[in-house]
Amino acid sequence: MLIEQFHLIMYINRMGSLNTRVNEIMDKIYNSNGPSNATELEEELAKKLKENFADSYKKAANDLVDPENEIPSPGSIAAYISESSEAEQTKALSIVNDWFDNLEI
């Protein structure tokens, strides 16, 4: 029972950490760049997530008014990735962190 609770807490923390990290990165991008450059970077991260998490990207796109012509936010994509396995969430967190670490802002 205690081990199951521990795993549940770890799972919830990992879910939150992906969403939290994406939100932190988006805040840093928008606080450090002009609106057009920040939007470009946001779209770049969304496309990066799409490469590895197409199903989550599609689900997030379906929430948009015009999914054919709009790109879902990284936060929306991360929310759907959070419904995936712990391994997928860890992979997503690694991708997001690597992408951000390679930015020059």
Question: What is residue 103's predicted lDDT score, i.e. its pLDDT?
Answer: 86
Among the residue ranges 7-21, 34-48, 76-90, the one predicted with the least confidence is: 7-21
The answer on pLDDT for 13 being more than 70 is: no
Which pTM does this prediction carry?
0.81
Residue given tokens 């946001």 in the structure block: 42
The answer on pLDDT for 12 being more than 90 is: no
Runs of H (alpha helix) within the chain: 2-32, 35-52, 54-62, 74-81, 86-101
Q: What average pLDDT is seen over the chain?
A: 86
Question: Cβ-count burial of 43 within 10 angstroms (0-12 exposed, 13-18 middle, 19+ buried)?
Answer: middle
Q: How confident is the model at residue 14 (pLDDT cuts 50, 70, 90)?
A: very low
